[in-house]
Amino acid sequence: MSEKISEKDLEQIFIASRLKKKNPLWIFLKFVVIFILVFAVVYFALNYSAYIQKIKFWYRDEFIPSEKPLSDIILGPSDVNKEKDSYFPNIEDNSIFVERIDIKAPITFRVENEEKAVSDNLKKGVIHIAGTSLPGENGNVFITGHSSNYPWVSSKYNAVFALLDKEVIGDLILVKFQNVNYVYQIEEKFVVGPTETSVMNVYAEYPTLTMMTCTPVGTNLNRLIIRAKQILPDPKNNIGGSIEEQNTNRLPAGVR
């Protein structure tokens, strides 16, 4: 004969079941896991373009042999005419080529350091901040671009500098300005806060190119800075420019 379950037994089972379901630690952990998953999905969706670039870069870096024609020429045999135009990658005038990450983008020069002007012109590519030096001048050429941007902003340059953190010391950057090729070699790579305006100052030892974007991707918490020195044409032939501080009141707003 099977044993009968008493009313007291049923009450204990019911109470135990309710206590188990309402365990506060379990509820909290479940909430945390769901929150993290939702946050991760939303974050990836908002920064989709930047992370797709990072995935593609990882694949190229791991599985595809690297080709660096600019480095092969500039850092190659000394008897090569390194200023000959035919040796350079074919890019449009007023544009930039970052070799390691294979980025080609137009540059809008002399953009005022004002949030609306910065935001509007970043839709067209990267921008040069008015008041800083121009290529071929002594001083600091300051260029900035997005590492990510809101997906509802229509532009193919929303993540143009998403891979800038992959650059290493010694890499080469080509800027074509007024149909002259300027080659810069990276000297420094570092992160600063959003109020560190000293990165816009002139570097007195030699003409420089400074590139800036926001980091981590999808935020504007800090700024990634790449500083490079001009190696071609011979910087001794540069003209103009100022060795005074130029337009250093604030870092460009409107960059992500």
Which two three-digit tokens encode residue 162?
């998403």
Question: pLDDT by residue for the chain (256 residues), tens digit each?
Answer: 456 666 666 666 666 665 555 677 877 888 889 999 998 888 888 888 888 989 999 998 888 877 787 887 787 776 666 666 667 888 999 999 999 999 999 999 999 999 999 999 999 999 999 999 999 999 999 999 999 988 888 899 999 999 999 999 999 999 999 999 999 999 999 999 999 999 998 877 789 999 999 999 888 899 999 999 999 999 998 887 654 545 557 888 878 8
CA 49 to CA 62: how far, in whole Å? 20
Of 69, 42, 252, residue with least CA distance to 161: 252
Sequence spans of domains, the chain: 7-44, 47-241
Is the distance from CB of 214 to CB of 223 less than 8 angstroms?
A: yes
pLDDT tens figures, 161-175:
999 999 999 999 999
Q: Beta strands 137-138 and 140-144: pairing type?
A: unpaired
E strands in the chain: 95-98, 103-111, 126-129, 137-138, 140-144, 172-177, 180-192, 208-215, 222-232, 239-241
How far is it, in rounded angstroms, from Cα 50 to Cα 54?
6
CB of 209 closer than 8 Å to CB of 143: yes
pTM to 2 decimals? Answer: 0.82
How high is the pLDDT of residue 218? Answer: 85
CA distance linking residue 1 with residue 98, whole number of Å: 84
The torsion angles phi and psi of 24, rounded to 5 degrees, stand at: -65, -35
Q: What is the CATH number of domain 47-241?
A: 2.40.260.10
